[in-house]
Amino acid sequence: MTIRFSSSTREVPVAAKVPRHVAIILDGNGRWAKRRFLPRFAGHRQGVESLRSAIQACVERKIEFLTIFAFSSENWRRPTEEVTLLRQLFLSALESEVEKMHRNGICLKIIGDLQPFGSRIIELVRHGVDLTAGNSRLTLTIAANYGGRWDLLQAFNRIRADPAQAGKSITESDLEKHLSMNYAPEPDLFIRTGGEQRISNFLLWNLAYTELYFTETLWPDFDSKALDAAIAWYRERERRFGRTSEQLSPASPQPVVTPTNCTSS
């Protein structure tokens, strides 16, 4: 397995004006429905429509990676009825969307532990991932039964099980090879809809240097204009990655000092 992208804590990435990788916590489906005196599920169904248009908007804006948090490892705590309906929605979206995604040049990836979703979903995911593996217009990752802590632990456990690693210290690059998103650069822009300002156990490792954007807009109302507002906000960020503003100014480039540590003389 090879890593094509380096870590923002080891190398300073090039910050482009359009984010290469956008990661979204879609939140607010339930409140959207409640405001309309509808069952929560109506919000989730409308959320799928929003997702469809967000994918299209990302394709049009030449965003290379879109990662969506669709169901967290903590969402099993919801009422059984809601979990069952969410599972059905996932299944029917896979059944109806995969071929369209393929025709649209989208490469589908799923991260998370799929076992609890059952064999039909696992089979559909396998089919969708295999079918779209050669596409390169947009890599769409759906995080389902995903948790950032789960991801780190499964990576550590796989490293521990590798006899070649016995007795060695784990490096950043060892870990990244085993994380679920080892095929993608770190997200440039994180968006959370629905007003909460938290990560909720999403991509804990990968978001180390991501720009974090929070909006009150509920996910079913999140349209291409809302995406453009997030991208416009992102463009205004100064991505320093530990450096000073002066070092970023082309008028007065500052020398970058080689890192030292407290034991070096």
Site string for ligand IPE, 71-90 (x = CB under 6 A): xx-xx----------x----
> Mapping DSSP to helix (H, G, I), strand (E, B) and coil, where does residue 142 land?
strand
Does residue 36 touch ligand IPE according to CB under 6 A?
no
Which token pair is 144?
Answer: 């389902």
Does residue 220 touch ligand IPE according to CB under 6 A?
no
Under a CB-based contact definition with an 8 Å cutoff, are residues 189 and 231 in contact? yes
Residue 28 or 185 having the CB closest to ligand IPE = 28
Nearest to 112 by CA among 139, 149, 83, 80: 149
Give the length of the chain.
265
Binding window for ligand IPE (CB under 6 A); candidates: 56-64, 67-75, 115-123, 232-240: 67-75
CA-to-CA separations, 150 to 62, 74, 112, in angstroms, rounded: 31, 11, 8
By a kind-dependent CB cut-off of 5 to 8 A, residue 200 interacts, out of ligand IPE, Mg ion, none, with ligand IPE
In the residue annotation, 261 being an active-site residue is answered as: no
In the residue annotation, 75 being an active-site residue is answered as: yes
The whole-angstrom distance between residue 168's C-alpha and the CA centroid of its chain comes to 30
Does residue 27 touch ligand IPE according to CB under 6 A?
yes
> Mapping DSSP to helix (H, G, I), strand (E, B) and coil, where does residue 230 land?
helix
Binding window for ligand IPE (CB under 6 A); candidates: 28-36, 54-62, 100-108, 174-182: 28-36
Which token pair is 252?
Answer: 């007065």
Which residues are marked as active site? 27, 75
Q: Binding residues for ligand IPE, per CB under 6 A?
A: 25-31, 69-72, 74-75, 86, 194, 196, 198, 200
